[in-house]
Amino acid sequence: MDKTYQPEQIETRWYERWEADNRFAPSGEGEPFSIMIPPPNVTGSLHMGHAFQDTIMDTLTRWRRMQGRNTLWQVGTDHAGIATQMLVERKVAAEEGKSRHDLGREAFTDKIWEWKHESGGEITRQLRRMGASVDWSRERFTMDDGFYKAVQEVFVRLHEENLIYRGKRLVNWDPTLHTAISDLEVENRDQQGSFWHFRYPLADGVTTDDGKGYLVVATTRPETLLGDSAVAVNPEDPRYASLVGKFVELPLVGRRIPVVADEHADMEKGSGCVKITPAHDFNDYEVGKRQGLPLINVFTQDAAVRETAEAFDLQGRPLADVDPSLPAAYAGLGRFEARERIVADMDAAGLLEQVETVSNTLPYGDRSGDVIEPLLTDQWFVAVEELAKPAIAAVENGDIEFVPKNYENMYFAWMRDLQDWCISRQLWWGHRIPAWYDAEGNVYVARSEAEAREKHGLPADLELTQDEDVLDTWFSSGLWTFGTLGWPEQTEELATFHPTSVLVTGFDIIFFWVARMIMMTLKFTGEVPFKQVYVHGLVRDGQGQKMSKSKGNVLDPIDLIDGIALETLVEKRTGNMMQPQKAKAIAKATRAEFPEGIEPHGTDALRFTFLSQATTGRDIKFDMGRLDGYRNFCNKLWNASRYVLMNAEGQDTGIDGGEVELSLADRWIVSRLQQTQAQVTRAMEEFRFDHASQALYDFVWNEYCDWYLELSKPVLWDEAASDAAKRGTRRTLVRVLEAILRLAHPMMPFISEEIWQRVAPLAGTRAADGDSIMNQPWPLADEALVDEAATRDIEWLKGVIVAVRNIRAEMNIAPGKPLEALLTKGGPEDAERLAANRLFLSKLAKLERVEWLDDPEQAPLSATQLVGEMEVLVPMADLIDKDTELARLAKEIDKQEKLIGGIEKKLGNESFVAKAPEAVVEKERAKLADFEAARRLLVEQREKIEAL
């Protein structure tokens, strides 16, 4: 093995080998275990969130595979309608100077397919770098042929059951992208805005009770005035009771609109009167429904003012009896320009009463960044109420369990207040809606045009055109768990791997994806999509900031793995920015944070860092310090393995027979291994990857390396040790390491495999050449090997060694200087332990002589430490500095006295003694005895020194 751990030389090599050997495919044996990858955007690239999530999924997958489960980690990518279309649109504009309309639908979607084939491999390559053991042979895409079938089937069946319908509704309209989007794709941002108070003159000479000829309404959106169809007052409001049923004359437009009584009007707010614009505001739409008001649309799809309005009734039928004329002055103006003009005109007409500055929230499209406009359009909807009921029940009755549990509340809250889901998108990239229209506008929904004709008995010469719209991306990804397994065919995979075992996902897509998967999957398979949902948090930067290009704090997981030079990193963070003015600050901050760039850490270290920070349900602040620390951990494991191999390769490791004798240290480390195995397994079962990684780290570094390897040296290097003892130690070294590697493998797949290949043959556990650690059994704890007595003895031994080291540190004695030590007081057990462990003691504490002293009175002046009842003495009369030592002792005595005081107080409390469990009281008494013994020793020591 190389002297230093160099991950880059190991990782790609092993991944290629595993993939070539088809090790990621299900074994076909054992209880099934399956995970569906949340499909990343096909044209995307791997970010920290993916890397984190993939690490968790791979750790679970590798662990279950080693446990002998029939394991499938299903991989695939999402076509990501809007995101992908926008990306290619920009690319085509930049490269060819053409818009998608210049190309036309077919040519443009061809471009996207081209781009998909060209760049779609990026994310899958990166997934391989992460070590993801997904079954590539079953890779799917949400727009592949199979998915096309599944999507059509679902759409048609939901339509047949009236759970999908088409209608003219108010939807969130993105004026830039020219498509409807769902509520979830709207991002609300706080703004400072104006709040205009307008006077609407009362018609027919009517006046208010206090004699005014107008009503005051206030709005943040003056441009929608053009589409007002009423003014509402609260039915309980005495001020306006007499006006209900009367009319106002809509300023600038001249339309007569009624004053209606509706509870939507809040008496406390403003004047208590509110303008109602059912075609441009979601609340007003509801008022319109209640009051039977016309829907007057005044905007085009660009959110510009129309030449004439369109009026509809609530069923979306054109209304003839509403005057559609609009003032010519605003025609064609964008909504914001129109706003300014209307305010100015109202002001000029003396109808602007007041302008307030208010903070309000505006809806933005999460893709386009444009302000979303509620717009009346023809769209397809899923009626979700019926679908939601069983989906709620599945979580209530425990068929689906969220980890952590508190996300269930979030799920319930959302599911119990669901609006119908607008699923049509006015895009070109996606699953085209399987609906056809004849010239009269009749709709025929079917799996194909042919089926539509057949189903509805349409003549062959009747011209049909397919709906231009595509489905929301989440409509198809909602079918992911069963669509990937071959549904609507009843495949063997579906029978075996569905429902899937666990979904690993971020809380941010519980609504987008998780909830919809549950609804769709229950509806079409009668099964839940997954039994557990492990919800993880967001990966943030070290300061807790969200990583974003505009903040310039993005870390690329691949850069953490391979390392990156400073200049390259700065270029990457500042190049191609939306706001180039920020580049300078970002470059500066980057240079300050990474003066040397980022050095390579390897995938295993990155994975281990993610796991160690994976506390349930909480965002993680990515810590570069820990990444360094775990890279060092890999190095530690590497070097420990070198030591083991140096001492075991070509040697007798006791696997071919021959007498084997296990030392105390051997029995102890084997015992501790059992406990660690149990701990790690339990942590994995509970999704506590932080605990799993911590338990492994502790065991490997603090016990196996720090103590066991050191304790093995005296046995292996001592001429006097028997062959049986050497064999025993070699065998233990190798076998414990081999088990460590298996325990580590789900978390650190590469380094564990690399070392295991060398170690396994020595441990006698490898069946044949060409085996991989991937398919070895997960280490099981064997209770019978837990040896409490050995643990106590080793604790004693460590205590004595640490005592001597402490004395060296306190007395400023060089670490290497051979010393003499005496052990005294204590019991017969201590004397026996000394006799049994003299070799270990003298080597590890660097003692040239260590003896038992029967009579403590005989002790020479020594530096002392206490191990239990026993005293460790290092005679050194000539080395002790009287004053320093007295000062140190005073401090120590003081410390003990404080401890004693605390416990005495506790034990002096009658209710404590009376009410606390006996065991707790006993424990306190024992502690008191320990502290008192320590104090006694210190006091005696002080007397001796004072006597000097």
**From candidates 46, 143, 253, 274, binder to RNA by CB under 7 A:** 274
Q: How far is the CB of 68 from RNA (least distance, A)?
A: 26
Q: CA 13 to CA 5: how far, in whole Å?
A: 15
Whether the CB-CB separation of 672 and 779 falls below 8 Å is answered with no
Query: Closer CB to RNA, residue 634 or residue 774?
Result: 634
Least Å distance between CB 96 and RNA?
37
Interface positions, 286-325, toward RNA (CB under 7 A): none
User: Got the DSSP string for 12-43?
Assistant: HHHHHHHHHTTTTS--S-SSEEEEE--PPBTT
- Are the C-beta atoms of 780 and 682 separated by less than 8 Å? no
Residues 163-192 touching RNA, rule: CB under 7 A, are 183-184, 188
Nearer to RNA, 701 or 852 (CB): 701
In the complex with RNA, the residue whose CB is nearer, 149 or 642, is 642
* Half-sphere exposure for 118 (CA within 13 Å, toward CB): 7
Of residues 719 through 748, those in contact with RNA by CB under 7 A are none
Under 8 Å between Cβ of 774 and 65: yes
Does residue 802 belong to the site contacting RNA (CB under 7 A)?
A: yes
The binder of RNA chosen from 516, 636, 730, 766 (CB under 7 A):
636
Site string for RNA, 646-685 (x = CB under 7 A): x---------------------------------------
What are the beta bridge partners of residue 435?
A: 445
Residues in 448-507 that interact with RNA by CB under 7 A: none
Q: How far is the CB of 769 from RNA (least distance, A)?
A: 26
Token digits for 935? 């104090």
**DSSP-derived secondary structure for 767-834:** -STT--GGGSPPP---GGG--HHHHHHHHHHHHHHHHHHHHHHHHT--TTS-EEEEEEES-HHHHHHH
User: Which residue in this structure is represented by tokens 């999908």?
Assistant: 164
Among 12, 615, 757, 791, binds RNA (CB under 7 A): 615
Q: Phi and psi dihedrals of 532, rounded to 5?
A: -135, 150
Q: Which stretch binds RNA (CB under 7 A): 112-120, 642-650, 733-741, 785-793?
A: 642-650
Contact 607, 55 (CB under 8 A): yes
Q: Supply the angle between the helices 624-648 and 749-763 in degrees, to the nearest 10.
A: 20
| Segment contacting RNA by CB under 7 A, of 334-342, 487-495, 769-777, 800-808 | 800-808
Taking residue 867's Cβ as centre, other Cβ atoms within 10 Å add up to 21
**Selected binder of RNA within 619, 820, 869, 932 (CB under 7 A):** 619
Distance, in Å, from the CA atom of 889 to the CA atom of 877, rounded to the nearest integer, reads 16
Residues 254, 261 contacting (CB under 8 angstroms) = no
How many C-beta neighbours within 10 Å does residue 161 have? Answer: 11
Residue 416 identity (one-letter amino acid): R
Tally of CB atoms within 10 A around 413: 9
Separation of alpha carbons 58 and 35, rounded Å: 9
- Sole window of 108-116, 165-173, 201-209, 359-367 interacting with RNA (rule: CB under 7 A): 359-367
Footprint (CB under 7 A) of RNA, residues 557-596: none
Would you count residue 639 as binding RNA (CB under 7 A)?
Answer: yes
Footprint (CB under 7 A) of RNA, residues 215-244? 217-221, 232
Q: How far apart are CA 449 and CA 462, in angstroms?
A: 11
CB of 771 to RNA, least distance (A): 26
- Is residue 760 packed enough to be buried (19+ CB in 10 Å), middle (13-18) or exposed (0-12)? buried
User: In whole angstroms, how close is the CB of 895 to RNA at the nearest point?
Assistant: 7
> How many CA atoms within 13 Å lie on the side-chain side of 471?
27
Which range binds RNA by CB under 7 A, 149-157, 260-268, 427-435, 770-778? 260-268
Q: Specify the DSSP class assigned to residue 674.
A: H
Binding-residue total with RNA (CB under 7 A): 97
Q: Which tokens in the block code for residue 57?
A: 């999924």
Residue 807 found at the interface with RNA (CB under 7 A)? no
The region of 141-149, 269-277, 429-437, 763-771 touching RNA under the rule CB under 7 A is 269-277
Taking CB under 7 A as the rule, does residue 758 contact RNA?
no
Nearer to RNA, 13 or 905 (CB): 905
Nearest residue (CB) to RNA, 428 versus 707: 707
Buried b (16+ CB within 10 A) or exposed e, 868-888: eebbbbbebeeebeeeebbeb
Stretch that binds RNA, among 449-457, 620-628, 668-676, 736-744 (CB under 7 A): 620-628
CB of 710 to RNA, least distance (A): 6
CB 565 within 8 A of CB 599: no
The pattern of x and - marking residues 339 through 358 that bind RNA according to CB under 7 A reads -------------------x
CA R_g for the chain: 38
Identified binder of RNA from the candidate list 415, 640, 662, 790, rule CB under 7 A:
640
Helix axes 603-613, 48-66, angle to 10 degrees: 90
Q: How far is the CB of 917 from RNA (least distance, A)?
A: 5
Considering only 930, 940, 942, 945, the residue that binds RNA (CB under 7 A) is: 930
Q: How far is the CB of 284 from RNA (least distance, A)?
A: 8
Q: Does 880 bind RNA (CB under 7 A)?
A: no
Candidate residues 157, 239, 246, 264; the one interacting with RNA per rule CB under 7 A: 264
Q: Which region among 60-68, 338-346, 395-403, 686-694 touches RNA (by CB under 7 A)?
A: 686-694
Q: What's phi and psi for 211, nearest 5 deg?
A: 85, 10
Per CB under 7 A, the segment of 324-332, 391-399, 527-535, 687-695 that binds RNA is 687-695
- Choosing from 162, 357, 543, 858, the residue that interacts with RNA (CB under 7 A) is 543
Out of 115, 141, 701, 852, point to the residue binding RNA (CB under 7 A). 701
Q: Is residue 917 within the footprint of RNA (CB under 7 A)?
A: yes
Binding segment for RNA (CB under 7 A), chosen from 15-23, 464-472, 765-773, 798-806, is: 798-806
Strand locations in 607-701, DSSP E? 620-621
Rule CB under 7 A: choose which of 386, 492, 706, 894 binds RNA: 706
CB 455 within 8 A of CB 446: yes
Task: For 273, list phi and psi in degrees, rounded to 5.
Answer: -105, 145
- The rounded distance, in Å, linking the Cα atoms of 615 and 691 is 9
Q: Under DSSP, is residue 186 helix (H, G, I), strand (E, B) or coil?
A: strand
By CB under 7 A, the residues from 833 to 872 that bind RNA are 846
Q: How far is the CB of 467 from RNA (least distance, A)?
A: 27
Q: Closer CB to RNA, residue 220 or residue 532?
A: 220
Count of residues making up the chain: 948
Q: Which of 246, 642, 758, 942 binds RNA (CB under 7 A)?
A: 642
Interacting residues with RNA between 7 and 36 (CB under 7 A):
none
Contact region with RNA (CB under 7 A), list: 51-59, 125-133, 266-274, 735-743: 266-274
